[in-house]
Amino acid sequence: MRRALRTGLAVSLLAGCIVPGEGSLARFEFTESHMGTPCRVVFYAAGPGEAERARRAAFAELAAVDERMSDYREDSEISRLSRRSGVGPVPVSEPLFEVLSAARKFSELSGGAFDVTVGPLVELWRKARREGRLPPPEAVREALERTGWTKLVLDPAARTVCLERAGMKLDVGGIAKGYACDRALAALARLGIRRAMVDTGGGMALGDPPPDRTGWRIQVADQSSKVLVLARRGVATSGDWERYVEIDGVRYSHIVDPATGVGLTNRILVTVVAPDGMSADALSTALSVLGPERGLRLAEDLPGVEAWMRWRENGAIRTAQTSGFAALLEP
Ligand code: AMP
Ligand code: MG
């Protein structure tokens, strides 16, 4: 995750409406930069005072996750943990343990396609992007030795994390935004604001729907006319359409295949709907790596999960989706 810009820009749109049992509710929308990306919070509240408290609570959660889990920050808890790789179990905070536990679960489910130990590889590909040059194969081989989710050992009783090899580096960029959405949505719910959604760009968490609606209207993916109508779920979009490097006519994504150490080249775009934001986020990254066949099979197997994909195959653009996806779309 990149450093927060903290512009603190706030916009509020008032559109009062009476909801039986909930009184008069107005729609509020705020945008702030966190985790290196514009983050949007939309909710329905009784008035500006309540909305302001809610705004502060929601963005405070996003800021806290960024501060703890950004690998761009030298002093974040996750950076400090990575620096202690190879030295044995290290006690960590509850939020970090929660994210790393979920990450391990998605590593297992995806057969290692999702892997938060890809830090050394991501570093290589960030450098490739800066220099416009492929990483040397021996550098990829060396980074692969410091990568692997089975080298991430968690002890729930002691709440410790052990990175078994020296030089390992954690990167929760594929899961933490979804987690941050869930945390912000929960903070709003604690204030009694349940008709809410949090969008951290790619990852979203949706609470109860706007008044008079069955769900929040969410665009499936870039340039798609498909609109999802969702409530009380997470949704996330991943792919190589945004951050990538092109070298010798090949586009390498910021998502790395942990099996090869190479950035994805299949021009895949994935939207995942899941029971919560963190699961949607992790799965959208996992499915990008797994590709259409294995990815959609995994999504079909998981309860409450649906997915849509677009990718390039032999020069043609193809799309596919899980069997329950169409039912979530606006008619
Ligand atoms: P997302 O946009 O959610 O797909 O996350 C992409 C980010 O996840 C990248 O920028 C990396 O920080 C990280 N990442 C890259 N490859 C992987 C992978 N195979 N598994 C987990 N995280 C990854
Ligand atoms: Mg993700």
| Ligand 1, atom 5: closest residue by C-alpha | 174
pTM, 2 dp: 0.93
Residue 137 has pLDDT above 50, yes or no: yes
| Ligand 1, atom 3: closest residue by C-alpha | 174
Q: Burial-class residue 303 by CB neighbours within 10 Å (0-12, 13-18, 19+).
A: exposed
Q: Is 45 in the pocket of ligand 1 (CB under 6 A)?
A: no
Cα gap 245→5, rounded to integer Å:
24
Q: How confident is the model at residue 22 (pLDDT cuts 50, 70, 90)?
A: confident
Cα gap 221→281, rounded to integer Å:
14
Tell me the torsion sign for CA atoms 113, 132, 176, 292.
negative
Cα gap 57→64, rounded to integer Å:
11
Q: Is 289 in the pocket of ligand 1 (CB under 6 A)?
A: yes
Q: Which two tokens stand for residue 298?
A: 């995994």
Q: How confident is the model at residue 240 (pLDDT cuts 50, 70, 90)?
A: low
- Residue 245, phi then psi, degrees to nearest 5: -125, 140
In this predicted model, which residue has the larger pLDDT, 239 or 162? 162
Q: Is 104 in the pocket of ligand 1 (CB under 6 A)?
A: no
With CA atoms as reference, report the closest residue to 97 among 170, 39, 34, 206: 170
Q: Is 179 in the pocket of ligand 1 (CB under 6 A)?
A: no
Task: Tell me, rounded to whole angstroms, the distance of Cα 71 from its chain centroid.
Answer: 15
| Ligand 1, atom 1: closest residue by C-alpha | 174
> How many CB atoms sit inside 10 A of residue 232's CB?
15
Tell how far the Cα of 286 is from the centroid of ligand 1, in angstroms. 8
Q: Is 238 in the pocket of ligand 1 (CB under 6 A)?
A: yes
Question: Can you give the pLDDT at residue 213?
Answer: 94
Only one residue has tokens 């179990």, namely: 89
Q: Is 99 in the pocket of ligand 1 (CB under 6 A)?
A: no
Rounded to the nearest 5 degrees, what angle is found at the Cα of 82, between the Cα atoms of 129 and 106?
Answer: 80
Atom of ligand 1 nearest to the CA of 202: 2
Residue 319's H or E segment, with its range, is strand 316-321
Cα gap 211→12, rounded to integer Å:
17
Residue 43 has pLDDT above 70, yes or no: yes
For the segment 258-281, what is each residue's pLDDT rounded down to a tens digit? 999 999 988 899 999 999 999 999
Question: Can you give the pLDDT at residue 1?
Answer: 44
Question: Can you give the pLDDT at residue 19?
Answer: 77
Cα gap 246→12, rounded to integer Å:
40
Q: Which residues contact 200 (CB under 8 A, 6 or more apart)?
A: 34, 35, 37, 39, 62, 177, 178, 180, 181
Average pLDDT of 229-255? 85
Quote the strand ranges of 220-305, DSSP E.
Answer: 227-230, 233-239, 244-247, 250-253, 256-257, 262-263, 269-274
Residue 7 has pLDDT above 60, yes or no: no
For the segment 154-200, what is each residue's pLDDT rounded down to a tens digit? 999 999 999 999 999 999 999 999 999 999 999 999 999 999 999 99
Q: Which residues contact 236 (CB under 8 A, 6 or more apart)?
A: 177, 178, 202, 203, 204, 271, 272, 274, 277, 280, 281, 283, 284
Only one residue has tokens 């390992």, namely: 168
Q: Which two tokens stand for residue 162?
A: 């052990």
Cα gap 54→178, rounded to integer Å:
19
Mean pLDDT of the chain: 92
Ligand 1, pocket-test mutation among 129, 255, 284, most atoms within 8 A of CB: 255
